Structure 1
């Protein structure tokens, strides 16, 4: 049976090979990464950090309802699309990884992590990876690292992921990366990072299924920047939900959501402004007017924008209340 599966997988790779042929001039992305599954939400994710420019464009691959792949070391980027294609045929993570490795004459230089939509994970560290290099596979995750300062890097990642159960998957991925860095991380230093999370089941709408997609291509402290972007992402999720509530005419719900976003970033004028607009819409002018005054003082273009919101119903105040707003 195993021989049949191997032959089948190799045949599939010959078919899918035209999608993304390996180019020996591709980046040498020595790095640490994690592929993981959230058993509560069913979400699937992958995250990475490296001392290499734009590591997320090479290492991280994921598709809703299918799985996630990290391909690194002397990276074979073709493993991303080819691996996802194999998972789509019904192969699990272990079978997919075996097929990828069996098809690659340079497997000794590769490091790959794969997780499927059921949460089964698999990882490979070729014998010619630069030490410290290794991987660990646990329930719902795989961590892999090469060219590390110490051999404690990937075990620290595993512990961080396991100890953070119950948190959002993106948060757990970032915690794993941060744990790696505390152990010394990449011996060369830091440059770029990426976090990608997709839904466990596909809706056929990638703009919904791709839940988190954060990249830092070049930064002195990429993980600090990823952490900051994750916070911004969460705040704007509240903003987006508030906008949906406005579309549905539920201004009270929208106000609560806008306020939650604003609490996360109290100096963000965008969040303050839409919160103030919503307060005006529900008749809370005494609360809205001081907010408008503060916003307009800092940037008068928000005042210019305000009357433009009347015609499409985003601002629903009458003429007298509009005058009060514009006097601020």
Structure 2
């Protein structure tokens, strides 16, 4: 890698708390972060499936993200990658950075001039770090939360860690934005397959509450996506199961109700489908017009008479 000194990025002033972590069961890797700074996820959180994750904060040098991932992709361990970049950085005393690779090896750096309270704790499969915190209890609370919630999926576990940090005192300035990024254990051919979860709350009075809500919505839509795939494969029963699980999570969501109704109609279960359609149309007439358009796209396989029965 070509040697280069990295100047302090005056426009990336993200004092914050974060975690990089790996799930030993799935191999997934994640970054979670909250800060009193607008759109913290756009500068702090970096990840690449089959490579690793990076959190770069304090006086942020965004180059640590892509360049760190490139080094780990080239075979550097987390500590080798971080050490090589810190050695080239004239602003290293102002930086706070954490790397994690696919083997769960972690490395962290907290510069001497990071604003107190600033520290990190890193171990196998996770590193927690924070600067400009209200007190010294934040980072130990994050470590404890990560260990206490080992039974949760990685994304939900990371949210618990962020919540524990806030409960322990959090950023001395308050809170404004948060982000959650999850990537997979193996490299992918297509860039659009790289991120399993990519959620950002750029500006919110309660960013962690909103992040937690968005994660629940994302999980529901994972079931919706599986239902859509099942419909493509003409496996209506699997589609109904997946749509049903999504609808249980968000019973007031018209989208989830609607595709459940469509799946029922496609499996010759009009008696069950029609009450769902009626309820949806009563709330929003646009879905009635949507239903008229579906047969031409092959998404609703009913006769003209059955279609009229549904929409009327």
Q: TM-score, normalised by structure 1?
A: 0.93
Question: 1:6 matched to which residue of 2?
Answer: none
Q: Determine helix, strand or coil for the equivalent of 2:302.
A: coil
Question: 2:43 matched to which residue of 1?
Answer: 58
Contact 1:37 1:140 in 2 (8 A): yes
Question: 2:16 matched to which residue of 1?
Answer: 31
Contact 1:242 1:255 in 2 (8 A): yes
Deviations 1:231-257 (A, max 9, x none): 010000100110000000001110110
Contact 2:52 2:99 in 1 (8 A): yes
Are 2:190 and 1:202 equivalent residues in the alignment?
no
Are 2:101 and 1:116 equivalent residues in the alignment?
yes
Are 2:139 and 1:154 equivalent residues in the alignment?
yes
- Which of 227, 236, 239 is the aligned partner of 1:242? 227
User: Could you tell me how far apart the structure 2 residues matched to 1:26 and 1:64 are?
Assistant: 28
Q: Determine helix, strand or coil for the equivalent of 2:297.
A: coil
Question: 2:270 matched to which residue of 1?
Answer: 285
User: Could you tell me how far apart the structure 1 residues matched to 2:82 and 2:144 are?
Assistant: 24
Change beyond 3 A, Cα 1:264–1:55: same
Contact 1:32 1:144 in 2 (8 A): yes
User: Could you tell me how far apart the structure 1 residues matched to 2:245 and 2:71 are?
Assistant: 42
1:1-328 matched pairs, under 5 angstroms: 12-14=1-3, 22=7, 24-327=9-312
Contact 2:236 2:263 in 1 (8 A): yes
User: Could you tell me how far apart the structure 2 residues matched to 1:23 and 1:110 are?
Assistant: 9
Question: 1:8 matched to which residue of 2?
Answer: none
Deviations 1:194-240 (A, max 9, x none): 00000110121232231000001111100001001000100001001
Contact 2:40 2:179 in 1 (8 A): yes
Deviations 1:7-65 (A, max 9, x none): xxxxx142xx59xx655322211100001111111111111100000001111110111
Contact 1:44 1:197 in 2 (8 A): yes
The alpha carbon displacement at 1:101 in A equals: 1.1
The alpha carbon displacement at 1:159 in A equals: 1.2
Query: Number of paired residues?
Result: 312
User: Could you tell me how far apart the structure 2 residues matched to 1:322 and 1:242 are?
Assistant: 22
Q: Determine helix, strand or coil for the equivalent of 2:268.
A: coil
User: Could you tell me how far apart the structure 1 residues matched to 2:8 and 2:249 are?
Assistant: 44
User: Could you tell me how far apart the structure 2 residues matched to 1:22 and 1:199 are?
Assistant: 32
User: Could you tell me how far apart the structure 1 residues matched to 2:289 and 2:86 are?
Assistant: 60
